[in-house]
A and B are shown apart, each in its own frame.
Chain A
Amino acid sequence: MSQSESPGGIFGLSYDGETRVFEALKLVSTAIIVLVGAWPIYWITQLAFTEYETVEDDVVTVFPTPDIFTFGNFTVLTDPEMYTYMFNTVVVAIGTIVTVVLVSLIAGYGLARLDFPQKENFARILLIGYLFSPIVIGIPLYQIWQSIGLLGTRFGLIIALSAISMPFAVWLMWKYIMTIPAAHEEAAWVDGASRWRGFRDVVVPQCRPAIIAAALFAFALAWNDFTFAQILLPQTDTTTFAPGILRAMGQTQFLPDAYLMAISLAMTLPPLLFAYFMQSYLLKGFQVRAL
């Protein structure tokens, strides 16, 4: 062996010994990730199914045994105020996803396939978008939206969130579309398809991983958003979930922790399902180095 390192595994272990150490480390790591990663979800779930009086009694519960088990906490979902918050959040999330996917697909196609001046500079300026934080933009936007009547509207929030998603989504689409062979589109043109038709029939279907990745990113942003909604939807009764629930807690109305956990569980399920069923697309979409 000409290598300067000692032959064999780490610390002079044999390859088999090294593998055993590695497997043990992996097992411990997995256990920690399961514990820490799943724990809050477990905690939310167990509290959500426990009688709220028990939860309020400052008792630490671990599992809702039959005597304190209940579905009753979920009645809070039908509370008109909570329902409005969640409905607004869903509308804003869907609106943001649709806007982001449409705009970024078209812009990504243009950047990848069409030649126009200042293209590289445009891409660079796009990246500056990462520096804009909701708080820096939100404060002036409050006045701007107020003066053009978009303050307090879901539409105003949707376009603010969409713009914040742009640097990521456009860059992702651009890089992803560049991985699709140009010959696929040219084959469509040879078949008589117009540029638009080729884009629709050949490029878009192949962009599915990137579309899902961009959609999930937009979803995460909209579903997570607190700052923009807090500033741009100032009316308590028309706001989204995050600021709504924080304000509801600050008011004197009846909102025990068990109810909060029931709502939290309802808001956690959609992301969990997306993460489970779409992770392969998500990872495939992120494989092209999206900045």
Chain B
Amino acid sequence: MASETGESIRPGRTYIPWDDLPVKRETVAGVGTVIPVVVLYLLIAVLPIAFAFWASLHEIHTLNPEWQWAGLANYREVLNISTFWGSLWRGIVYMVGSTLLQLGVGLWMALVLNRITRGQKLLTAVVFTAYLIPTIIVSLVAMRVFDPASGVFQMIGAEWLGLWGGREAPLGSRDWAMQLLILIGTWKFAVFVTIFTLAQLRAIPDRFYEAAKVCGANRWQMFRDITLPRLMGIVTVVVLLRSVFMFNKFDIIWQLTEGGPGNATTTLPVLAYKTVYTDQAYGLANAISVVMFLFLLASAIIYFQLFNPSEEVETTT
């Protein structure tokens, strides 16, 4: 029906003799697509880690960029100071406590959000907002409500529950600071678990549940035999991510307690930051960073060996 020949349809292209080159055109294009990522990684990950390692071998004052070779002295110091081991222990407590609580709360919220019928969209939005709003706002609200002078939660805790004294600041208390940090963090970060598991829950076809009902399964059996197996893959991934993120968490701790009182909430990231800016020991701080990174790397490798979440991700989409 059309009178034109095919000539007009052919795109113009400058001729590159791909057949004569030792690489295939597709290889060049493929590698080209990931180059931006590689550059970003080199710049933001590989270079800083290498730099940190190099710096950790030197004695450096933060404000006076004069590097003095110190060999492994910084590492010896890191492993010998009591604050390091204390911070590592507190960091693990913070990580494990936060991850478990977030996993429980996040899963529970996802299951509820998946099942409610009215106001689902609005409530989901409210829950998601917790993850999206700046941490500093969460901290501001927390500081306000736990303020010994006018904080509403401080008053409830003091007058109704008798958890702490009337003029006492819970965030400044050795007994409560860590627990409250974990709780406040959970309000915000449990949503991360919710987002991932809710997405998975939405992807489970109804016919699975219908088939189970036909077989006479009750709700618990359906949850155990259909829902849980479908969620296991994403749960192992989320546990890994949350653990890593919580171990690395700096902002919310610094904003709420600055690692205090004393060192009661000083985890490794806080220790590294304080070493740079309070102790002005830049080299030592980098040694802490490198140790932190190696610790995480080792943990992640062990985790991958045990649960292999990446395989989970690749096979069961």
Contact = CB atoms under 8 A, between A and B. Distances in A.
Contacts of B152: 43, 60
B132 A274 contact: yes
Interface residues of A, number: 108
A289 B317 contact: yes
A286 B48 contact: no
B135 A276 contact: no
Contacts of A284: 199
Contacts of A114: 26-27, 29-30, 33
B317 A288 contact: yes
Contact of A287 (B45, B145, B200, B254): B200
A200 interface: no
B51 A272 contact: no
A22 to B, nearest CB: 6
Contacts of B178: none
B150 A135 contact: no
Overall SS of chain A's interface: helix
Interface in B201-251: 202-203, 216, 218-221, 233-234, 237, 240-241, 244-245, 247-248, 250-251
Overall SS of chain B's interface: helix
Contact of B133 (A104, A175, A223): A223
Nearest to A21: B219
A235 B255 CA distance: 18
B125 A140 contact: no
B136 interface: yes
A15 B137 CA distance: 45
Contacts of B310: 124, 127, 291
A241 interface: yes
A116 B26 contact: yes
A50 B176 CA distance: 30
A53 B1 CA distance: 81
B218 A15 contact: yes
Given A22-B219, A135-B272, A164-B44, A271 B37 contact: no
23 contacts: A8-B218, A26-B115, A29-B112, A33-B109, A34-B123, A103-B40, A110-B34, A133-B269, A135-B273, A135-B289, A136-B48, A140-B48, A140-B55, A166-B37, A224-B132, A226-B251, A227-B250, A242-B136, A264-B140, A267-B137, A275-B125, A282-B199, A289-B317
Interface of A: 1, 3, 5, 7-10, 15, 18-19, 22, 26, 29-30, 33-34, 36-38, 40-41, 43-44, 47, 57-60, 102-104, 106-107, 109-111, 114-117, 119, 122, 124-137, 139-141, 143-144, 159-160, 162-164, 166, 170, 175, 179, 192, 194-195, 216, 219-220, 223-227, 230, 241-242, 245-246, 257, 260-261, 264, 267-268, 271-272, 274-276, 279, 282-291
Give the 4 A-B residue pairs with the shortest CB-CB distance, closest first: A110-B33, A133-B248, A116-B30, A271-B132
